[in-house]
């Protein structure tokens, strides 16, 4: 699965919040947005893909999640969520590896029963991770440690990157082979960019085996690296990317261009990104995993990048003249099922500090709206998505708007931009209104009213945009006559 991740430390963000975000680029799977009642959280979890059964702890927390509508086909695939302890989690960013790692610690794949041989369950994966971890942790660090213990016990059948945040910290975790993993706390003043490629480029083993302040890993990771001759870089500074990652031709088409565009956006003056003397190009293997941005980062910045398609460069797939359009895989793509931006606002009371900003279906041309996560239910416009197409639900309305905008990009994009701006503007105003009410001492139950009001607004704007963009696209159909018969 292809995805893109952006992480923002609290001193790098516009309001002191921590932000983790990810495009969930799947396969046009209808999605709904739910709140898991702790009483309904299973005591025993069984995965669909790996046929693995996992016993779960007692007393889970309530949490939001974005499952597939049809969970029987490939499982839940929860995407991301925030629990009632104000801990966020995205799962997952599919990342790269190399044959040395895979040979030393093979992935744990499901083996169906053959003849007299018994079925062998696989490890855990994207289908499962949010359900297995998010309900049982009260900090971002706890999220890393719980998932790490599960990986060591059960293994995994795929390479993944997972983000966690709470009011103070952001952590990034990457799996290594079948049972190993590595994690680093994002420095408070930094932004992280991740494009489906193993990302970490610095790691301190002394800290990981000592104070464990900013680095975590299994007890045997250093021995694993040395025994299997995994590291190919200079001895003085360990670069995990050189040990566990890749630098293939396909990376240069699929992954590094996305890091290049995001770095170019956040650091336009720090480095040269274009021309013969560029510090980094779309095919550079050494684009930094993290950096201090030139300006404080907003939710709107993150949304723009997760929707982007190399605007302002010769590689924009909608460019008509450069000759390079479509050369590289862009960030915002039509097969995004959802795009979640999880904002934990540490300067606000715990009851309403967590907000999830969400786009559904085809991230390039969909709106982004907020909702409060400390609730017991969400409006039907979000939670009731059916498998059939229905404009009565946000997922399908978004899909239709995105598809029609793409079909007539040059005439429809202005209509789509107005729509996206209207939802962001009105969403911000409603957040401000209800934050003010909550600060004045209103009951937490008011947050469900706020979410309903936000979704009523989103439906109003989506219906209006769908009508305008459908009219525009219909008028551009190839079979058309202009004789006005009365």
- Residues catalogued as catalytic: 3
Q: Which residues are within 8 A (CB) of 99 and not within 5 positions of it... i.e. 6 or more apart?
A: none
Chain centre distance of CA 134: 15
3-state secondary structure 408-472: CHHHHHHHHHHHHHHHHHHHHHHHHHHHHHHHCCCCCCHHHHHHHHHHHHHHHHHHHHHHHHHHH
Neighbours of 117 (CB within 10 A): 9
**Nearest Cα to 22, choosing from 1, 6, 2?**
6
What is the end-to-end Cα distance of the chain in Å, rounded?
53
**Nearest Cα to 183, choosing from 204, 168, 159, 153?**
204
| Whole-number Å distance between alpha carbons of 45 and 127 | 11
- For residues 82 and 358, is the Cβ–Cβ distance under 8 A? no
| Whole-number Å distance between alpha carbons of 361 and 382 | 12
| Whole-number Å distance between alpha carbons of 171 and 184 | 6
- For residues 30 and 77, is the Cβ–Cβ distance under 8 A? no
Cα maximum dimension of the chain: 84
**Nearest Cα to 299, choosing from 2, 12, 4?**
12
DSSP state of 376: S
Cβ-in-10-Å burial (0-12, 13-18, 19+) of 350 comes to: middle
The two three-digit tokens of residue 299, written as one number? 């939710």
């Amino acid at each position: 699965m292809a995805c893109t991740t952006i992480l923002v430390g609290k001193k790098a963000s516009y309001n002191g919040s921590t932000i983790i975000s990810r495009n969930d680029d799947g396969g046009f799977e209808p999605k709904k947005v739910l709140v898991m009642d702790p009483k309904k959280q299973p005591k025993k979890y069984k995965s669909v893909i790996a046929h693995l059964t996992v016993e779960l702890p007692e007393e889970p927390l309530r949490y939001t999640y974005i499952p597939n509508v049809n969970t029987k086909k490939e499982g839940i695939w929860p995407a991301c969520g925030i629990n009632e302890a104000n801990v966020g989690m995205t799962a997952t960013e599919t990342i790269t590896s190399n044959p040395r790692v895979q040979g030393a610690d093979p992935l744990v794949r499901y083996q169906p029963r053959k003849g007299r041989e018994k079925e062998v369950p696989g490890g855990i994966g994207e289908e499962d991770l949010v359900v297995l971890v998010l309900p049982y942790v009260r900090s971002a660090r706890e999220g890393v440690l719980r998932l790490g213990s599960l990986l060591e016990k059960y293994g995994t059948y795929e390479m993944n990157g997972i983000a966690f945040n709470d009011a103070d910290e952001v952590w990034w975790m990457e799996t290594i082979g079948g049972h190993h993993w590595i994690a680093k706390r994002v420095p408070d003043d930094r932004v992280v960019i991740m494009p489906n490629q193993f990302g970490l480029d610095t790691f301190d083993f002394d800290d990981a085996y000592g104070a464990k302040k900013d680095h975590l890993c299994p007890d045997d990771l250093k021995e694993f690296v040395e025994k299997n001759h995994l590291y190919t870089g200079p001895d003085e500074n360990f670069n995990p990317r050189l040990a566990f990652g890749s630098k293939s031709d396909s990376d240069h088409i699929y992954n590094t261009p996305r890091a290049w565009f995001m770095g170019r956006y956040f650091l336009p003056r720090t480095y040269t990104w274009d021309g013969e003397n560029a510090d980094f190009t779309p095919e550079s293997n050494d684009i930094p995993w993290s950096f201090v941005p030139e300006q404080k980062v907003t939710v709107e910045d993150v949304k723009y990048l997760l929707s982007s398609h190399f605007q302002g460069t010769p590689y924009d797939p909608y460019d008509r003249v450069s000759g390079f359009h479509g050369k590289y895989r862009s960030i915002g793509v039509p097969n995004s099922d959802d795009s979640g931006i999880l904002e934990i606002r540490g300067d606000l009371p715990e009851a309403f500090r967590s907000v999830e900003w969400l786009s559904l279906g085809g991230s390039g041309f969909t709106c982004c709206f907020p909702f409060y996560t400390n609730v017991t239910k969400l409006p039907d416009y979000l939670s009731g998505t059916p498998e059939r197409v229905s404009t009565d639900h946000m997922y399908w309305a978004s899909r239709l708007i995105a598809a029609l905008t793409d079909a007539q990009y040059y005439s429809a994009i202005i209509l789509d931009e107005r729509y996206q701006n209207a939802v962001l503007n009105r969403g911000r105003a409603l957040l401000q209104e209800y934050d003010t009410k909550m600060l004045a001492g209103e009951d937490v139950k008011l947050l469900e009213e706020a979410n309903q009001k936000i979704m009523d607004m989103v439906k109003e704007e989506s219906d209006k945009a769908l009508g305008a963009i459908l009219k525009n696209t219909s008028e551009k159909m190839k079979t058309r006559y202009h004789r006005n018969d009365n």
